[in-house]
Amino acid sequence: MSCIYIVPIWREEKYNLEFLRSKISEIFRKKAQIYESKKINLDSVYNPTRKQYNSSQILIQLLSNHPRDTFRILGVTDVDLFIPILTFVFGEAQLNGIAGIVSVHRLNNKFYGLPENEELLRKRLIKEAIHELGHTYGLVHCLTPGCVMNSSTYVEDIDEKSDQFCSTCFSAIRG
């Protein structure tokens, strides 16, 4: 049976991702598992000028190092991600592909000089992880208020949306 693999990619802070695994399994009705991969090399994707990590290149690494029974593979990291045209991204995924990545770096209140809030961080991570996995199902940004596929360019946008798909996006996930 194929599986959604969650790959922790930590540089400084480590997080327990069990809550995320269980939520992903519930939402996508698929077996989800934490997969520790030693083949992800963050140094090779670091841009010293930007002091950030190229998320597209991490996706390439995830794609070339995944278990045979992979249904989807989602990297979760604590480093700050970017794609060349943008100043930062919360995450990235292949549209209609199998891989995605999400970063907790800018989901953490600490980044904005606010007191840490672990529960809020978990909520944000769940939403962004589901959002990126949604893209791998071919879903594009959705305009239905509250849908998890709403585009988020600020962390406040993430707080505004729910961790659920709207009925249209949900039907697409269920196929």
Partner 1 sequence: MRPKDIAILVVDDEASIRNSLSEWFKMDGYRVEVAEDAYEALKKLQENNFDIVLVDIKMPEMDGIELQKRIKEIDKNIITIIITAYATVETAIQAMKDGAFDYITKPVDPDELSRLIKKAIEQRRLITENIMLRGKIEELQSLDEIIGESPAMKKVMEMVNTVAETDSTVMIRGESGTGKELIARAIHAKSRRRYFPIVTINCGAYPEGLLESELFGHEKGAFTGALYQRKGKLEMANKGTLFLDEVGNISLKMQMDLLRVLETKKFTRLGGEKVIEVDFRVISATNRDLEQAVKEGSFREDLYYRLNVFTIFLPPLRERRSDIPLLTHYFIKKFSLSMNKDVREISKEALNLLMDYDWPGNVRELRNVIERAMVNVKGTKIEVDDLYFSISSPYPKPEGETLEDVEKAHIKKILNKTGWNITKAAEILNIDRVTLYNKIEKYKLRR
Site stretch for partner 1 (CB under 8 A), options 5-13, 23-31, 34-42, 76-84:
76-84
CA distance 6 to 73: 6
CA distance 175 to 165: 13
CA distance 33 to 22: 9
83 binds partner 1 (CB under 8 A): yes
- Whole-angstrom CA distances from 14 to 70, 76, 77, 85 are 23, 10, 9, 28
Closest CA to 89 of 154, 141, 144, 20: 154
49 binds partner 1 (CB under 8 A): no
155 binds partner 1 (CB under 8 A): no
Give the interface size with partner 1 as a residue count (CB under 8 A).
Answer: 18
82 binds partner 1 (CB under 8 A): yes
The residue among 8 and 128 lying less far from partner 1, judged by its C-beta, is 128
Catalytic residue, from 18, 26, 132, 160: name it: 132
Q: Among residues 50, 51, 110, 174, which is the contact residue for partner 1, using CB under 8 A? A: 50
Give the tokens for residue 175.
Answer: 């196929």
CA distance 114 to 165: 29
87 binds partner 1 (CB under 8 A): yes
The minimum distance between CB 53 and partner 1, in angstroms, equals: 14
- The helix-helix angle for 18-28 and 118-136 (nearest 10°) equals 40
60 binds partner 1 (CB under 8 A): no
Q: Which residue in this structure is represented by tokens 């045979």?
A: 68
Q: Among residues 9, 20, 27, 89, which is the contact residue for partner 1, using CB under 8 A? A: 89
114 binds partner 1 (CB under 8 A): no
- Whole-angstrom CA distances from 56 to 18, 134, 164 are 25, 17, 26
Active site residue 119: no
Residues 9-48 that bind partner 1 (CB under 8 A): none
> Which residues would be at the binding site for partner 1 (CB under 8 A)?
50, 56, 82-89, 92, 95, 135, 140-141, 151, 153-154
Residues marked as catalytic:
132
